[in-house]
A = this chain, B = another copy of it.
Amino acid sequence: MPDTIPTDSVGLVTPQTQHFDQPLTLRSGRVLPSYDLVYETYGELNADHSNAILICHALSGSHHAAGYHSMDDDKPGWWDSCIGPGKPIDTREFFVVAVNNLGGCNGSSGPTSINPETGEVYGPDFPIVAVRDWVNSQARLADVLGIEQWAAVVGGSLGGMQVLRWSIQFPTRLRHAVVIASAPRLSAQNIAFNEVARQAIAKDPDFHDGHYLKHGTIPKAGLMQARMLGHLTYLSDDAMRQKFGRELKEGRLNYSFAPEFQVESYLHHQGEKFSNSFDANTYMLMTKALDYFDPAADYNNDLVACLAQTQCRFLVASFTTDWRFPPERSEEIVNALVHADKDVTYACIESESGHDAFLLPIPRYLAIFSAYMQRVAREVNV
């Protein structure tokens, strides 16, 4: 709840909705006959439309990447640390577009939307979407906005996967790809964590096979557990040790099953908050998109061959204590790009904050990100 909007903020922003009537054939073979995409923009599109940046969000993100919706907001958009005047993605130079992905629960068509074919809420009947489906839908939004080529497509985590997919799927439609804290595909361990989270939701009796809205229920306990587990994997052991250690909530052990350690209370709080605002079917869909992402699979598992067709330049960044997508996973991307003779800049940033580091204002991270984006800006026609 800012008393005044900070000077390095994009300020008050208003989401926009774009409706698409042209059917979208999905990776699964299913077809979305029509759909909405909700998005926000920050900064001004220049005369030749060469200064546009696309922001791709991760699992629980949305189109609200920066600024405030109202003076009553208690916090800004999810990547406000990196988007704004004077920030790495400098809105004095760039026109920034942030989209809520299909299947989301923040306004774009998803499980909580009305299925135009039945007049009822989609619920679990909303089709499972893949990263390439998001990229196709984002390309259509670019068409509507008159953006033939992005100056850069940028994202962290699952957002970074969309960036990679953009570079492969529309090689001429972006000049730069910024892939942060991401991976070329999930490991078995990553998939396993997602499946445990999905099971927590699916086994909640209030889930009703995804038809909870029809039943007037919400699988709150399951969603809370899924988020607790997810949150746990976004933080590093070090970060949790520093933040909580073995601190006790009431200063003493109670020998009961109520949360006793601060870290338990914190996770309960995070899970509780999330379960009040996020849609369970969307969570299921987003984790599936993560599991499925594997662009090299179409190239006989050869990531070099897969990335050989890209034409943009790359910034890849990772964080030392990220154990969800550790530096080695980013380095797989970097190595493949080098072998494919592509132009790639790589930074592994020291941080104790685990996977969540990509959202934080870590000085060296901001410095490198800014320097790279300034290079992108210098190529833009003023």
Contact = CB atoms under 8 A, between A and B. Distances in A.
Given A191-B261, A257-B198, A288-B257, A246 B128 contact: no
Contact of A188 (B27, B243, B257, B260): B243
A200 interface: yes
Nearest to A29: B255
A195 B268 CA distance: 9
Interface stretch (A109-117, A159-167, A229-237, A311-319): A229-237
Nearest to A129: B255
Contact of A240 (B127, B187, B236, B257): B187
Given A128-B256, A193-B232, A259-B195, A246 B200 contact: no
Interface in A249-293: 253, 255-257, 259-264, 267, 284, 288, 291-292
Contacts of A187: 237, 240-241
Contacts of A240: 187-189, 192
A70 interface: no
A28 interface: yes
A196 B246 contact: no
Contacts of A257: 198, 202, 284, 288
Contacts of A30: 255
B191 A263 contact: yes
Number of identical protomers: 2
B225 A192 contact: no
30 contacts: A27-B255, A185-B246, A186-B246, A187-B237, A188-B241, A188-B262, A188-B263, A189-B240, A189-B263, A191-B264, A192-B228, A192-B240, A192-B264, A192-B267, A195-B264, A196-B228, A196-B267, A199-B221, A199-B224, A199-B228, A200-B225, A203-B222, A205-B205, A225-B225, A246-B294, A253-B292, A255-B288, A257-B284, A257-B288, A260-B291
